[in-house]
Amino acid sequence: MTKFKVIRISIILITAIGIQSCNSSNAEKSKMKGNNPLLEEFTDTLGIAPFDEIKPEHFMPAIKEGINTGNTEVDKIIKNTDEPTFENTIETLEKSGSLLQRTSTLLGHLNSAETNDDIQKAQREASPLITEFYNSITLNDALFAKIKTIYNQKGNLNLDVEQTTLINKIYDSFAKNGANLNKEDKEKLKNINKQLSSLSIKFGENTLAETNNNFVEVKNENELSGIPEDVVARAKKVATEKELTSSWVFTLHAPSYVAVMKYADNRDLRKKMYREYKAQGNNGNKNDNREVVKEIVILRYDKAKLLGYNNYADFVLTERMAESAPQVLTFLDDLLNLAKPVALKEKSEVESFMKKEGAKHELQIWDWSYYSNKLKKAKFNINDDDLKPYFEINQVQKGMFEIANKLYGLNFAQITNIPTWHKDVKTFDVTDYQGNHVAVFYTDYFPRPGKRGGAWMNSLKKQSLENGKNIRPQVINICNFTPPTETKPSLLTFREVETMFHEFGHGLHGMLANSHYGSLSGTSVYRDFVELPSQIMENWVSEPEALKLFAKHYKTGEVIPTELVEKIIASSSFNEGYSTIRQLSFGFLDMEWHSLDDEKIADLISVSDFEQKAMGKTNIFHKVNNDIMSTQFGHLFSGGYAAGYYSYKWAEVLDADAFEVFKTNGIFDKETASRFKENILTKGGTEHPMVLYKRFRGEQPSPEALARRAGFIK
């Protein structure tokens, strides 16, 4: 997934935020700049953030100064007595707010990747100020009048495609964020936006606290049967850190949780882990997110109604390929009709296998990964333990870079003298085949207490053209992979390898950007298009020709045997029906939360009951008490995927269809890769995504490609 984007004043209007008076004397400003690296230009030749100098107390002065500077820049546009033009209004607005953009991006990044109490405090303090600032811009009548004048004249201004897209996006952003409202309703919208911003931060903080604070302690070594030794070693280390020296501690971070659910022979341990994991944000403590979820969805509904939409989904989907809630629901239902019969057959097969294994109990959700993994081993004679020795993290990354070189002519050279936010972070100078600088690429791959769970891509600096110079981007990939132990390097599961390639696909979208305007650059595209570059990269992970580049035994250097590659391919669609309906369940939940009407809001009492109804049609297991997704669903409530989670499956249709071109022409075919690069990766949001896709593919995507890949149809 991509992390939220903090972008220039002209487009950040989606999270709309309003003006705060933060005047400082010249003497105070001079003093602040002398002691605050955030207020200085980043003088490194690449404009690198000095993470080794930045402290939490630097953020609020820089945020306030950024707001002051932004106010001055926007005020000049408003007070300009010349006739409004594209150049003196739209382009000037696009270029304004750079200090605030840069500072808030860094603060948001650290709050996700390496947070602490002081960073969280700074984020809470900054959020309402930033919200107020952006609100004041989007709701400024004089500024909007100038924008509207240019928008109404755009057909006579000889604008190119990117300029037309920019004016359309700016006008629509202002309109969708209340520019056409009356004064009273504008004030209502300001308050809603402030509350939403604060609640989103609160949701994320609560989720991180739940992940860090809750765990399962094992005191009897016999209960560890089946769990890989590197996971057990990590559990012992965590226990020691928590001063539980006679125990093993399994956390809710993905490498620990997934390993227990997949390998632990002890059913009670799996059940404990599952219940602990699924209860996050639903424990009745200070980190409980149930009321936060309800407040967020009600405020989003109020915002949509205020702006003239039936619900929040309608508000969001006007800027998506899917266009409307009914179209999304039809898409989800069509996939469900294909996938659910397959999922039920898969469940029946796992149940039969479980009985043959001697189990006397009914198959429950906490049994699924364990017995599915055993069945996969029995059917294909393959499991993660067989594969992990061939997926040492550095070797995988080296091969991933080589694939990018074969496809797009990129080279990655590690840099060791760039300051970072943590010792685990690695940095790379990315160049093209001619040696020209393309991007700076940061990787941060292991879990830790100050880092939220999941995987994402973000940009510290977006690509743009400024005064004829192509400003190159700084791109981050952050994941939570299996860390190394004292005796073994980091050996990845096959799914973790796919995740690395997925986030790298987002990274390439940011690195290869070549647009004029930063707000249209790289991953600044429709949400249901942004996952195409990431998801298509996953395809190379199971291609024999690609695997030979990076799947090498960490001890012997032996390339992964052909028989293992064949097993990977043969098992690639194993339990794809269940995986699909699981994803669809999240999509349905998302759409239900954001399609609320007055009657449903009035009846909204229990988050759990609401969720069960929303996901009911996808269920193939019995309901488990206290099993709630919403209270930890960061994509929806602290990320940017509200009314957009369906986009993962939507983009899978695109990526399956697009990769069939590579399969036909060759997975490293230069001409195909060039067309994908030039029409998808470099263009960002400069044109409608379907136009870009058809330019690459020659036709609209076919949903049958996904059904074929999943094995739902022949």
Q: Summarize pLDDT for 352-379 with one digit per residue, the tens.
A: 999 999 999 999 999 999 999 999 999 9
Task: Quote the mean pLDDT of the chain.
Answer: 92
Per-residue pLDDT at 639? 86
DSSP 491: B
Q: Among all chains, which residue has been given the structure tokens 């695109």?
A: 654
Q: Residue 31 CB: number of other CB atoms within 10 A?
A: 13
Dihedral of CA atoms 113, 199, 207, 102 in degrees, nearest 10, equals 0
543-555, pLDDT tens digit by residue?
A: 999 999 999 999 9
| pLDDT beyond 70 at 240 | yes
Which of 349, 458, 410, 417 lies closest to 112, judged by CA? 458
Tell me the pairing of strands 456-461 and 464-466.
unpaired
Tell me how far apart the alpha carbons of residues 396 and 414 are, in angstroms, rounded to a whole number: 15
Fold adopted by 12-198: Neurolysin; domain 3 (1.10.1370)
Per-residue pLDDT at 626? 81
Per-residue pLDDT at 600? 84
**Mean pLDDT throughout 48-74?**
96
Per-residue pLDDT at 384? 87
448-502, pLDDT tens digit by residue?
A: 999 998 999 999 999 999 988 999 999 999 999 999 988 899 999 999 999 999 9
DSSP 439: E
- Between vectors from CA 348 to CA 347 and to CA 350, what angle results, nearest 5°? 65
H helix runs in 522-596, sequence order: 527-530, 532-537, 544-550, 562-570, 576-593
Cα of first residue to Cα of last residue in the chain, in angstroms, is 30
Residue 1: pLDDT band with limits 50, 70, 90: low
Tell me how far apart the alpha carbons of residues 391 and 400 are, in angstroms, rounded to a whole number: 12
- Using DSSP, state whether 463 is helix, strand or coil: coil
Q: Where are the domains of the chain?
A: 12-198, 214-278, 388-550
| pLDDT beyond 80 at 167 | yes
Residue 697: pLDDT band with limits 50, 70, 90: very high
Which amino acid does the sequence have at 511? Answer: M
Tell me how far apart the alpha carbons of residues 71 and 506 are, in angstroms, rounded to a whole number: 33
402-427, pLDDT tens digit by residue?
A: 999 999 999 999 999 999 999 999 99
What CATH architecture is 388-550? Orthogonal Bundle (1.10)
Burial 580-606 (b: 16+ CB within 10 A, else e): bbbbbbbbbbbbbbbbbeeebeeebee
H helix runs in 357-409, sequence order: 365-380, 384-387, 393-408
Asked if 493 and 482 touch (Cβ cutoff 8 Å), the reply is yes
Q: Residue 220 CB: number of other CB atoms within 10 A?
A: 10
Tell me how far apart the alpha carbons of residues 315 and 384 are, in angstroms, rounded to a whole number: 43
Residue 28: pLDDT band with limits 50, 70, 90: very low
Residue 562: pLDDT band with limits 50, 70, 90: very high
Residue 632: pLDDT band with limits 50, 70, 90: very high
H helix runs in 22-81, sequence order: 26-35, 59-79
Tell me how far apart the alpha carbons of residues 594 and 307 are, in angstroms, rounded to a whole number: 15
Contacts of 154 (CB under 8 A, 6+ apart): 164, 167, 168
Q: Which amino acids are annotated catalytic?
A: 503
Per-residue pLDDT at 598? 84
Percent of the chain with pLDDT over 90: 87
Asked if 299 and 266 touch (Cβ cutoff 8 Å), the reply is no
Tell me how far apart the alpha carbons of residues 676 and 678 are, in angstroms, rounded to a whole number: 6
Asked if 533 and 526 touch (Cβ cutoff 8 Å), the reply is no
* Torsions phi, psi for 250 (to 5 deg): -105, 125
The two tokens of residue 193 are 């936006």
Burial class (CB in 10 A: 0-12, 13-18, 19+), 190: buried
Which of 312, 149, 293 lies closest to 606, judged by CA? 293
| pLDDT beyond 50 at 18 | no
| pLDDT beyond 50 at 25 | no
| pLDDT beyond 50 at 24 | no
- 3-state SS of 594-649? CCCCHHHHHCCCCHHHHHHHHHHHHCCCCCCCCCCCHHHCHHHHCCCCCCCCCHHH
Maximum Cα–Cα distance across the chain? 83
Which of 75, 64, 76 lies closest to 29, judged by CA? 64
230: left (phi over 0), alpha (psi -120 to 50) or beta: alpha
Asked if 193 and 135 touch (Cβ cutoff 8 Å), the reply is yes
430-445, pLDDT tens digit by residue?
A: 999 999 999 999 999 9
315-361, pLDDT tens digit by residue?
A: 999 989 998 999 999 999 999 999 999 999 999 999 999 999 999 99
Tell me how far apart the alpha carbons of residues 323 and 345 are, in angstroms, rounded to a whole number: 34
Tell me the pairing of strands 456-461 and 437-444.
unpaired
Task: Assess whether the region 12-198 and the region 388-550 belong to the same CATH fold.
Answer: yes
Contacts of 456 (CB under 8 A, 6+ apart): 1, 2, 3, 112, 477, 478, 503, 506
Asked if 447 and 422 touch (Cβ cutoff 8 Å), the reply is no
- Residue 617: CA atoms inside 13 Å, Cβ hemisphere, count? 15
| pLDDT beyond 80 at 13 | no
Q: Among all chains, which residue has been given the structure tokens 């040696």?
A: 435
Tell me how far apart the alpha carbons of residues 613 and 598 are, in angstroms, rounded to a whole number: 17
**Mean pLDDT throughout 42-61?**
91
The two tokens of residue 190 are 């300001």
Per-residue pLDDT at 321? 92
Asked if 507 and 473 touch (Cβ cutoff 8 Å), the reply is no
**Mean pLDDT throughout 274-299?**
96
499-544, pLDDT tens digit by residue?
A: 999 999 999 999 999 999 999 999 999 989 999 999 999 999 999 9
| pLDDT beyond 80 at 86 | yes
| pLDDT beyond 60 at 569 | yes
Residue 33: pLDDT band with limits 50, 70, 90: low
Which of 505, 511, 508 lies closest to 539, judged by CA? 505
Per-residue pLDDT at 640? 86
**Mean pLDDT throughout 230-235?**
93
Per-residue pLDDT at 34? 61
Burial 59-88 (b: 16+ CB within 10 A, else e): bbbbbbbbbbbbbebbeebeeeeeebbbeb
Tell me how far apart the alpha carbons of residues 583 and 551 are, in angstroms, rounded to a whole number: 28
**Mean pLDDT throughout 210-220?**
95
